[in-house]
Structure 1
């Protein structure tokens, strides 16, 4: 390796937009691009601006595999999830990791905290190591994140949603339809004064889609939400309990409440037990995800069970198949299971 050549430190091993492509678009040499990336002083501001504009346009991320052989390939698989605080995404991860380990790959985990800007930063940081594949939660990302994933030249699978256009492949289910199914179930069961309790819908876009579908189903029956409590914080058991209490204080005549997920719904059930509210006689409760905690409570929760572990497995299988030169389907809708339960 030539110690005086900075391009040796920013090789383009493993695919993705190359340094040479940036140089071509900017109309400069590869050496000049490297000097800009290294903040070298001997570059004019005009040239630096052209290079930075080309980097932004192409979504280029420097490869940190310094000195690696041109034929080297990483054995890393990136999995970016919004949270590890409940069992949903750890189960996705467990399913994917089981498949990756069996094939000799190592999963690298990133947690975005439902923040698209943080997700973008994670993608940029991880792309610098040129992983062999990507699993990313959801179909909504910042424009730059989408561009980096498109330009990664590695298989990308977006999981846990089918309501939108995938960058490459998608494995999941329709959150819109899940919301519709629950709305129809409550409306057909004679519930008329229905409320909603959820976390930050501006971040948890899949919960927002379920609420959209739920509202569409109510409208089919000539109904609308009677009340809503959405807190600007992540969902939790405690938020479900305090959220339902706050909602019932404003709307004591509610006869059903739909929660963004099972954590929230179980918290709501705990409030009803403490307050002596008859469930489902006076108030029906419904959640989403089909967590075990919803089966362990005194009355089994009415919910929709998502195949989280299987989605992780299938997403990993699609990536591994693509790496073997196969062409798995780009959209793999795995559906869900409606659990009638005892709370609605």
Structure 2
């Protein structure tokens, strides 16, 4: 990969951070090396097909299972995933919006350690550990591009969670110069719950004028909790929701706008909000589910909130830093 590509720039940024910083998912994730074409190096988790989901939920007593495919990923981008299944001549192709997660058969030790720190919510320690996993080759090879993107976005989340807002914004800006799979966009460092974002306000204000729509979205999510910038954030989200250039960004912006409605508006129509969340591609659902659960709880809708919180605890659509049972939703 050329040293001038956006992803390489992000890796260079991460490498500089590794010097300055102190040294969930289940940690059996993805490996860095490209295995042989006939090996089952990857396990691809796919959302049910559109045909399988045609039967309304209230007309079936069973959940639709997530599909699991083992093989070698040949390509994974914003449009499709191609995987070579051992024993098959033909390459299987799936829409990228169905790819929830990828697990590796053999995960490098540095990635296992980094992901364990992240899963334990030790974000300050996880950031430099993820930096190392992205920037240092394993056995002379770098991770595939889709893997580097996923890890780099995870680093952006760790930066946000440890109040290094400028670092998170810069990583998102670099990554957004190349189309990203839905499973990576689902990790954008958006604040979905009502946690304190005061330490992120100034980086967000500086980033609000960015040319990157993903950066604008992230910045608006940090500013919408601020009394001083709430109206500006709402206007930014409305523009993002109305634009047609990036449908995924528009969808996520609409989800954040739900949280800015009045309690009366949400109370009268929260079932529509639930329907919208369920209609989203599964790789994007977990963040909006957190937003839905926390907003309903703040409104006193405890039964509905607990239902979504339990869904996050037991069956989140995609691996994500969800609230732990011992850490109640704020």
Both proteins in one fold, TM over 0.5: no
Which one has the largest radius of gyration? 1
Bigger fraction of residues in strand: 1
The alignment's TM-score, normalised by the length of structure 2, stands at: 0.26
